[in-house]
Amino acid sequence: MSDLISQIAVNQIATKNELLEIIVNEQYDNELFAAADKVRQSIYGKEVYMRGLIEFTNYCKNDCFYCGIRHSNKNAERYRLTPKQIEQCAENGYGLGFRTFVLQGGEDPFYTDDVLCEIVKKLKAKYPDCAVTLSLGERSYDSFKALKDAGADRYLLRHETANKFHYEKLHPANMSFDNRIRCLYDLKSLVFQVGAGFMVGSPFQTTENLVDDLLFLKELDPHMVGIGPFIPHKDTPFANYIPFENNNEPADIANVDGNTNRSLRLTLVMVALTRLFLPNALIPATTALGTINETGRELGIRAGANVVMPNLSPLDTRNKYLLYDGKICTGDEAAECVQCMKRRMKSIGYNLVEKRGDYICG
């Protein structure tokens, strides 16, 4: 193994220049992925945890420029699941072996703290052996506390980018980088298992931004890190943005394959470096990774990821929760998704397991 990779694997840190060297040079890839795989196996073995994703509302008051369910997208067909429907999704998931439910939605004021706390309490009472993860966007400290007190175990909130200037290129002026970071530290102080993360290849992103993302993760030290490739959505201001072209011109089909491969490689590199930086992290092989490449999730696992997130949402809402175009698995029953994922993991020598899959402290 090269000195550089083994030194990062041992020390769990690197300088900006060392990270840049690895990110831009493909020659490190195989060693990097092998080192990350070795680290995750030393902590989590060959187990892959599954999280049952329940996308319960696609209403959102925000207008993130990259997101297909942003408030301004008048083409999005909006829906909300009732608490009863959410419980039914969990019931279905429990029967399929899920021991973590992820309640995800846009920032929808319809779901007040009281409504959400009731849902969390019911799920925790009915399934005491399961973890409840929330992914509801930015909220106040008091709101996070109420949700924690109601029994929620984990909270996912991607930081999206650790660079304030870049953040402001991806979000409208009424959204605040500082508030997002405040939320993450509030969640940590409330002893949630906290998830951060970012997109790879998002508009205006530089290689230095990716380095900053890794260094920010090291500082925040989250329990979970979601990293997926940027994929444009047709009804957003970034509809025609091709990752790595750094322009907003209409897509040049001739370039798409090359850029997709670049997105894939770079996402895997960031997954692997995250594993070396945060050896104990729970890192999903994201659905977006599986969307840009048929075996993207398998490649993600082999590059150090250890979680997959099949969808438990009702079939008739799946193709309405589209943050980006081309999302896979929108037409499959959850039971089919689990079987498919089991096969996929087995094909690369890993096991999809029916466990809560909590963070293992280092």
The residue ranges that bind ligand SF4 (CB under 6 A) are 60, 62-64, 67, 69-70, 106-107, 137
Q: How far is the CB of 6 from ligand SF4 (least distance, A)?
A: 38
Q: Identify which of 202, 103, 203, 114 has the alpha carbon closest to the alpha carbon of residue 153.
A: 103
Q: How far is the CB of 114 from ligand SF4 (least distance, A)?
A: 21
For ligand SF4, which is the closer residue by CB, 32 or 102? 102
Q: How far is the CB of 139 from ligand SF4 (least distance, A)?
A: 11
Q: How far is the CB of 110 from ligand SF4 (least distance, A)?
A: 14
For ligand SF4, which is the closer residue by CB, 160 or 298? 160
The Cα–Cα gap between 292 and 295 comes to 9
Distance of CA 185 to the CA centre of its chain: 18
Cα torsion 174, 180, 181, 187: sign = positive
For ligand SF4, which is the closer residue by CB, 243 or 357? 243
For ligand SF4, which is the closer residue by CB, 14 or 227? 227
The Cα–Cα gap between 62 and 108 comes to 9
For ligand SF4, which is the closer residue by CB, 137 or 279? 137
Q: Would you say 224 and 194 are in contact if contact means Cβ atoms under 8 Å apart? A: yes
| Cα within 13 Å of Cα(132), Cβ side | 26
Q: How far is the CB of 288 from ligand SF4 (least distance, A)?
A: 13
Q: How far is the CB of 284 from ligand SF4 (least distance, A)?
A: 17
* Per-residue tokens: 195: 């998830």
Neighbours of 25 (CB within 10 A): 12
Alpha carbon separation from 196 to 39, 183, 224, 290, 343 (Å, rounded): 20, 11, 6, 20, 28
- Classify residue 346 as left (phi > 0), alpha (psi -120 to 50) or beta: alpha
Residue type at position 76: A
Q: Would you say 309 and 341 are in contact if contact means Cβ atoms under 8 Å apart? A: no
For ligand SF4, which is the closer residue by CB, 135 or 267? 135
The Cα–Cα gap between 312 and 357 comes to 18
Q: Identify which of 28, 192, 27 has the alpha carbon closest to the alpha carbon of residue 9.
A: 28
For ligand SF4, which is the closer residue by CB, 70 or 297? 70
Q: How far is the CB of 61 from ligand SF4 (least distance, A)?
A: 7
For ligand SF4, which is the closer residue by CB, 306 or 313? 313
Q: How far is the CB of 73 from ligand SF4 (least distance, A)?
A: 9
How many residues would you count in the chain?
362
